[in-house]
Chain A
Amino acid sequence: MTPVATTFFFYFLSALTLGSGILVITRKNAVHSALALIFGLLSQAGLYLMLYAPFVAGVQIILYAGGIMVLFLFVIMLVNLERAQKEKQFNKQWIVGLVAAGALGALFIAVYLKGRELFPERLALPPENSNTQQVGVLLYGQYMFAFEIASLLLLVAIIGAVVMAKKRI
């Protein structure tokens, strides 16, 4: 499939991601923030698609935008919103925040300048059709151990959640 208007879509999706990111931290209403976050995640999925990683994009939609965010939204909806709305959004720690953001930005720039030569001028196009298969092969081959560790971690999380939430087991 020949890509159409790549540049446009790249900047469009990036702007959407950034815009919703800003909305996430500026909205007073937590639910609105969460909704903005969902839009950010969806536009990220679009970016993954542009990177010829459709599997990652699909998983991003299913897991983040679909599953996790819905649960997240619920938690936000059921807590008391009124108090959160009255709180001041920009408190005295904004200087600390600014410093931290500056440090993070500097780090990014440093990595970009230092590691520039690691990136080739143009990324070689990976075969789109076998993308999913490659993910599978890597997960169940090279990164088998890491994969299993991650699933064990999730199992622990499930048991923990059950123990905490269930009144009587």
Chain B
Amino acid sequence: MGADQPGDRERPIKMTDPTTYLSHLELGEPDKTFLDSNELIINMGPQHPATHGVLRVILKLDGEKVLGTECVIGYLHRGVEKIAENRTYTMFNPYVDRMDYVAAVSNGLGYCQAVEKLLNIEAPPRANYIRVILTELNRLASHQLWLGTHALDIGAMTPLFYTFRDREEILKIFERYCGARLTTHAFRIGGCQYETYDGFEQDVKNFIDTAPAKIDEYEELLTTNRIWVERTVGVGKISAEDCKALGVTGPVLRASGVKWDIRKALPYANYSEFDFEIPTGQNGDTFDRYIVRMQEMRQSLRILRQAVERIPEGPIMAKVPKIMKPPVGEVYHSIEAPKGELGYFMVSDGSTQPYRVRVRPPSFVNLQALDIMVRGQLVADVIAVIGTLDIVLGEVDR
């Protein structure tokens, strides 16, 4: 027992006291001019409409200018990694859906493939196709949710309802496929549990046919909107070097001009069979990230169309032992989740339970970039940047 370890409860935990966390917010001398202005420390969250959950950001402001931020996270910490050590491989599978709950399918895919790697088995081709279809649908759903909330943060109410209307179509497909809408638990280790339902392909095809027009609709509302452009261009800039140094991945990295997508770089499932582009931006600002995600949605549709047309017949489950005992070893497997690189580092000791599961959450790592992205900008930009980072607190805190 670690009773003798440091960190004993010398003082009561007082989460409301901002000074607790302000140790490193010494950000240089305040501007001493003739009219001295006091700095203001503002606690944004954890109960705040625009922090996308229970993120708490302590802002140090000079007027409206942000001098520095500090993120306080962990309000949604559930100890997923500890839970994993006490569950069998199969039993832990549904838990990963609860991390990034808006892209549950991607989480499941990453986990299942990591375990498959440990077990050294391959999912059959049909299962891979189903996986790709559902994952790309989920990417679309995640991006749509992102777009709606991001636009709402910037003050445009209407796109939210448009995106939710269209996201509903995707969730309906999920529901028909596996009975759940959000935390789908769609995949199993070794393949998929369920065969596609009758009319699955038709549903997906219908969606692919209608979706481009709907994405056009969102773009009509925002892309050329003068206020939207003014609010996003040049806001929250981050360079490609900074992105790499900070480990930022996903659309944020691509918007900074790095053409890197795990689906292309280190293909998993059967992404190497599909023909699609990696959209990139140049400036790494909020507007570019917006454009990149919009393009990504179109690319996802492209993958979906190919996948639906080419989906083969065959088994959907590989031969998997009833009791899973992967050989001793460790693997790291990562996939391109809608938010960035989602990795699983798994250590097996040969028993039925993982010895250690480490989740490399994209939101957690991306959130680190918030500070350098908003320094010197205004309070309103903090909101825009939190939105554009597309974080899900369930994944940040795990």
Contact = CB atoms under 8 A, between A and B. Distances in A.
Q: Do chains A and B touch in the complex (CB under 8 A)?
A: yes
Interface of A: 78, 164-165, 167
Closest 4 CB pairs of A and B: A167-B33, A164-B34, A165-B35, A167-B31
A28 to B, nearest CB: 22
Contacts, number: 7
Interface in B34-52: 34-35, 38
A165 B31 CA distance: 12
Nearest to A79: B38
Interface of B: 31, 33-35, 38
A64 to B, nearest CB: 23
Majority DSSP secondary structure for residues of A touching B? helix
7 contacts: A78-B38, A164-B34, A164-B35, A165-B34, A165-B35, A167-B31, A167-B33
A165 B35 CA distance: 6
Nearest to B33: A167
A67 B33 CA distance: 26
A167 B62 CA distance: 13
Contacts of B38: 78
Contacts of B31: 167
Nearest to A165: B35
Contacts of A164: 34-35
Nearest to B34: A164
A165 B36 CA distance: 9
Nearest to A78: B38
Nearest to B37: A78
Contacts of A167: 31, 33
Contacts of B35: 164-165
Nearest to A80: B38
A167 B38 CA distance: 15
Nearest to B31: A167
B225 to A, nearest CB: 32
Contacts of B33: 167
A78 B37 CA distance: 9
A164 B31 CA distance: 14
B35 to A, nearest CB: 5
Nearest to A167: B33
A78 B33 CA distance: 17
Contacts of B34: 164-165
A19 B207 CA distance: 72
A78 B35 CA distance: 12
Contacts of A165: 34-35
Contacts of A78: 38
A167 B33 CA distance: 7
B36 to A, nearest CB: 11
A97 B33 CA distance: 36
B112 to A, nearest CB: 57
Nearest to B38: A78
A78 B38 CA distance: 9
B376 to A, nearest CB: 13
Nearest to A161: B35
Nearest to A164: B34
A78 B34 CA distance: 16
A57 to B, nearest CB: 34
B295 to A, nearest CB: 39
Nearest to A163: B34
